[in-house]
Structure 1
Amino acid sequence: MRNIVLPLLTLAALLVLVALPALFVLLQAVFPQLASGSLAGAFGAVPALARDPQVPVLLGGTLKTGLGVAFACALIGIPLGALRGLFAVPLARCWDVLILVPFLTPPYIAGLSWMLALQQHGYLEQLTGLRLDRVLFSRTGMVLVMSLNIFPVVYFAVSRAMETGGHRLAEVARVHGAGPWRAFRLITLPLALPAVFAGLLLAFTLAIEEYGVPAALGMRAGAPVLTVAIEQRLADWPIDLTSASLLSLLLVALALTAYGIQRALSGGLDVATTGGKPAAIASRPLGVWRWPVLLLFGLVTGLAVTAPVAAMLATAFSGTVSGGLTAANLTLRHFVNLFARHSEATDALGTSLGLAFGTALLTGAVGFMVAWLTLNARMRAKAFIDALSLLPAALPGVVVGVGLILAWNRRFWPVTPYDSWVILLLAYSCLLLPYPVRYAGAALRQLGANLEPAARVHGATAGRALRYIVLPLVFPALLASMLMVFAIASRELVTSLLLSPPGVQTVSVFIWRQFEQGSVGDGMAMASIAMFSSILVMLAALGLLQRRRR
């Protein structure tokens, strides 16, 4: 009996966190009258949505944005990643940390910062007289802003793959007479292609799932996308649950199609290299290209890191935006406002920290159990559990929000988390569950399959072996994933906007509403606190992972 308690609890948690919202999105899309308790008129809303002239515009806009971001990330991330992986780039670790910053910065904060820098009478115009507001408020500008946030996923994938995958074999080929370009083309690049495709897939899916930047820039640029349209159908009266559900399924289909294409392209390219003991990697010197490469890294990090962070801090420490960049306009008033007595900012900060902590604990516990069950347990349902735990990777935040609204806003539930902070906990946990699952799974694979059976042979129960042997050994990796979950959950935007009940406000909602209300300085002061806190937490997580690998 004890042997089935943990699997049943894990399966129940997955059904509540993942399966239930996904199921209700599907049911609402199929049965338009589901909200009134009727299953009549199945698929009745599909023809109307197919005739809606706005749907092709939304679909095309989302595809253009996703493909544009993937292309821009390839232009930025692949050359930089190849240089980092193959050559001895000066200050390499420093560049890695700087390039990590944009990915740790919430995209909506970066978008709002670029608005302040490039809008009419913005910081760029004040400093140089140049006006780039027309570039910013266009699809091209929106794609560039998103690309500067997302390109690190391609950079790190390419740099790590080229550094460890084909570097040594390419050197062997050069010893046997191959030129540098021939060795790169025939050995290094093919070995790195799976990582390149995986990075570009992630860039595409992150772009089509993003809400903050399209909502901030796309509305003025005339570049509609699915995420914003879904949120509008739930926020604007009359609320259209069925249309929001159908558009949500369309967005999920895009993500799954991209995943399928990536698998098809890289399916025959997976190559494993074995050579006994791990060899030290000796990167080639840059020679005369040293300074051009440093200039390239400096230019990219300046655009991706320095410019938006400088705009954010300038606004946070300025009395008014119109006052300009002058000493007389410097103030700490916005930070004082945040921590004033009975301030809604401190309430929002406390709410976000509490939810992030709860999300880290819940996803850590469920993720560890899922990883352990799928790797070690003998049960028929483990393939289903594994698939269900990784499904949120293909579910955009706005889709999870729609699913939770549809699932829990029902009269037949005796108790419901709807209209309470618990609904936000469920949303964050659903979105971020794959992190602990993957990290715990990787750590468990490194342990081998002998420790737990040995403990069982010596009289330990399954629970005691799990608690005293397996968990302590994988805990560093699990803790690192939980810290990542904490950092991301503390500033999640779209589900917070959709699900925050009256009287409950998170950091991301507070920042967004400050901009809507014109209190830009207070919003950027909170954004600076949130961003630097997330960076510190994520760096701590990466430090734990590095220590674990040693």
Structure 2
Amino acid sequence: MHAESVEVRGVGLIQSLCIAALLMVVVLPVSFVVLQAIFPHLPEGSLRAPFSAIARTFGEQHLAQLLGNTVVLGLSVSLASLLLALPLAVLRGTRRLPGAKYWDLLFLIPFMIPPYIGAFSWVLSLQDNGYARQLFGWSAEGLLFSFPGIVLVMSLHLFPLVYFALSRSLMLIGKRFADAGKVCGASAFSSFLRITLPLSLPGMLASLLLVFALTVEEYGTPATLGKRSGFLVLVTSIEEKFAEWPIDLPGAALLSLALVALVLLAFWLQHYIVTRRSFITVAGKQRDEAAPELGRMRWPALGLFASVTLLATGIPIGATLACAFSRTLSGGLAWDNFGLRHFIAVFENRNGALDALFNSLWLAAATAIIAGILGALTAYVSARTRLRGRSLLDAFSALPNALPGMVVAVGMILAWNRSWWPVPIYNTPVVLLLAYICLMLPYPVRYVGAGLRQISQSLDAAARVCGATSGRVLWRILLPLIAPNLFISMLLVFAVASRELVASVMLAPTGMPTVATFVFNQFAQGSPGVGMALSVIAIFSSTAILVTVRQLFKHDEL
């Protein structure tokens, strides 16, 4: 009995540490956003005039326009992404596409390019005297700096989410349901439209939800293209309330809550639509079904894939490389203008370029380690114990899913920019690290939790029969089994954290640039060459690190 009580206390200690960490990293900043929205004089240490900022903020004439712009942008990018992805996914999921794996790889490349760098690449390509004019004699600056231009750029970055989700759903469904419809007299088009496509609806809606959420919380592209055209959204307006004098903390907090409400509403709508109908497409062992050939559609299909690849991958990569290797932007695309000048400037640490790369790498590595450990322990308590409070712990760990990066940054500012903290962390790298951990925490919790739920609890019971404690079961049995899930989640955290823009712009201490802030500032100052060179180094170095570690991981056979 004594040993059991000690073991329970040990697991309870892990749970208490996880709850304390989540309270500091997640709950505290969100609570301060809510408190600041209710009590506008909170920075003065006063709770007077509660709710007085609500009428002022939501009474602003441009607020309705901000909300409308945000919603319309999210819906438009979702629709455009669906229109781009649907024909590609149908061809990939229902036909034998030549070089299918290579097309998938090419569609993954845009995810290695941060969206703000992609936006900069489109500016370099389509602006007056840009690369399009130099090569073809035309430009599209008017289109680029407009609402359709913003939708186009963001859709080309996000459509692969819909493509992969929908194509995989169609592969899983197969052609047996459509064949059954044909037996009953339906045409091929009717079978697809009335049978196959509705069966893929859950995956499609889930991916469209993610596109909508990523669109309404994206800062880089609207800030790059929207401000110049006067198209403002909630995210850019929140940043302006911190950047412009007088600083409006209550207004920023209220707009942050409005942004969270918008994301939560999207989640609820998706859940409502999907749960109204349930489709079972896999029952028992599946037959291997050979997808039919494209036939006469072969070359049109390949032309479509090539065209979308050119727009989504070729132009951003090409413009980034061209700018990075050009000695001067005004020199244009000429052989005598190409050189390594900007790369030399990076390695000579001009303007702090190398410092920015180092800062991003160590912040991303620290985030991956801390978020991985915290996420693994949180998933363990939630999935493998029966302790009271584990559902609360699970809710805390899932909360960042509904928190846009701008809201997390606002919460960190409001929570840690206080004089009463014994150890001040605001305007230090610690507060930026906390923001990264908050944003990235759902990845290890989700991946490790999924791995733990696939492991039978009979292993735990057998180990305890042999005298093992919960700690030994976790260390010697569960950890080796979930190591692939944990490792993959940490790699994902590293890749995403190394390019994080919003938290870096809002929270990076003075004199501590990151890759995102450096590139953003270089482009804003009209000298994008060094910034693009740093982008190339950061993209390829992070990719090389991921590939190298992955190979080492496979070699160890963990």
TM-score bracket for the superposition, by shorter chain length: over 0.9
In 2, Cα distance between equivalents of 1:221 and 1:547? 52
* Alignment RMSD: 2.1
* Structure 2 Cα separation of the partners of residues 417 and 335 of structure 1: 34
Q: State the match for 1:250 in structure 2.
A: 258
Q: By how many angstroms is 1:279 displaced?
A: 3.5
Offset, 1:540? 7.2
1:167-224 per-residue CA deviation (whole Å, 9 max, x = no partner) reads 4443455466654223323432222100000111111110000000001100111110
- Counterpart pick for 1:78 among 48, 70, 86: 86
| The one of 333, 348, 351 aligned to 1:340 | 348
Paired residues of 1:164 and 1:281 also in contact (CA < 8 A)? no
Aligned partner of 2:16 in structure 1 is 8
Equivalent in 431, 436, 447 of residue 439 of structure 2: 431
The equivalent of 1:469 in structure 2 is 477
1:215 to 223, 230, 235: 223
2:116 to 91, 94, 108: 108
Secondary structure of 1:284's aligned partner: coil
Contact 2:172/2:281 (8 A) holds in 1: no
**CA–CA distance in 1 between the matches of 2:554 and 2:71?**
37
Q: Give unpaired runs (5+ residues) of structure 1.
A: none
Q: C-alpha separation between the residues in 1 aligned to 2:137 and 2:193?
A: 45
Q: Deviations over 1:236-271 (max 9, x none)?
A: 221111100000001111111111111111112332
Q: Does 1:36 align with 2:44?
A: yes
**Change over 3 Å in CA distance of 1:455–1:314 after alignment to 2:** same
Corresponding position of 2:172: 164
Q: 1:328-372: per-residue Cα shift (whole Å, max 9, x none)?
A: 101101000000157611111111110000100111111112222
Code of the aligned partner of 1:98: L
Is residue 290 of structure 2 the alignment partner of residue 282 of structure 1? yes
Structure 2 counterpart of 1:134, one-letter code: G
2:105 paired residue number = 97
Of 486, 507, 519 in structure 2, the residue corresponding to residue 511 of structure 1 is 519
Q: Tell me how far 1:104 sits from its aligned partner.
A: 2.6
CA distance in 2, matches of 1:253, 1:7: 29
What CA distance in whole angstroms lies between the structure 1 residues aligned with 2:286 and 2:474? Answer: 31
Decide whether aligned partners of structure 1 residues 357 and 527 sit closer, same or farther in structure 2, where only a CA change above 3 A counts. Answer: same
Preserved contact between residue 233 and residue 240 of structure 1 (Cα < 8 Å): yes
Secondary structure, counterpart of 2:110 in structure 1: helix
**C-alpha contact (below 8 Å) 1:194/1:269 kept by paired residues:** no
Q: 3-state SS of the aligned residue for 1:267? A: helix
Q: Of the candidates 362, 368, 371, which is equivalent to residue 370 of structure 2? A: 362
Whether 1:272 and 2:287 are equivalent positions in the alignment is no
CA distance, structure 1, for counterparts of residue 132 and residue 547 of structure 2: 31
Structure-1 residue corresponding to 2:399: 391
User: Is the counterpart of residue 64 in structure 1 residue 67 in structure 2?
Assistant: no
Could you tell me whether the CA contact under 8 Å between 2:451 and 2:485 is conserved in 1? Answer: yes
Evaluate the alpha carbon distance shift between residue 374 and residue 362 of structure 1 in structure 2; reply closer, same or farther with a 3 A threshold.
same
2:61 equivalent in structure 1? 53
- Deviations 1:254-311 (Å, cap 9, x if unpaired)? 1111111111111123323343234434222111101111000000010000011101
The one-letter amino acid of 2:468's match is A
Q: Identify the residue that residue 372 of structure 1 maps to in structure 2.
A: 380
Check conservation: 2:173, 2:282, Cα contact below 8 A: no
Identity %: 49
Change (3 A) 1:320 1:408: same
Alignment CA distance shift 1:166-1:263 (3 Å) = farther
The aligned residue for residue 182 of structure 1 is: 190
Kept in 2: contact 1:428–1:489 (CA 8 A) = yes
Code of the residue aligned with 1:492 in structure 2: it is E
Asked if structure 1 preserves the Cα contact closer than 8 Å seen for 2:30 and 2:411, the reply is yes
Deviations 1:466-502, CA, capped at 9 Å, x for gaps: 0111011111111011001001101100110100111
Correspondence 1:500 to 2:500 = no
Summarize the Cα distance change of 1:83–1:348 in structure 2 as closer, same or farther, 3 Å threshold.
Answer: same
**Corresponding residue for 1:317?**
325
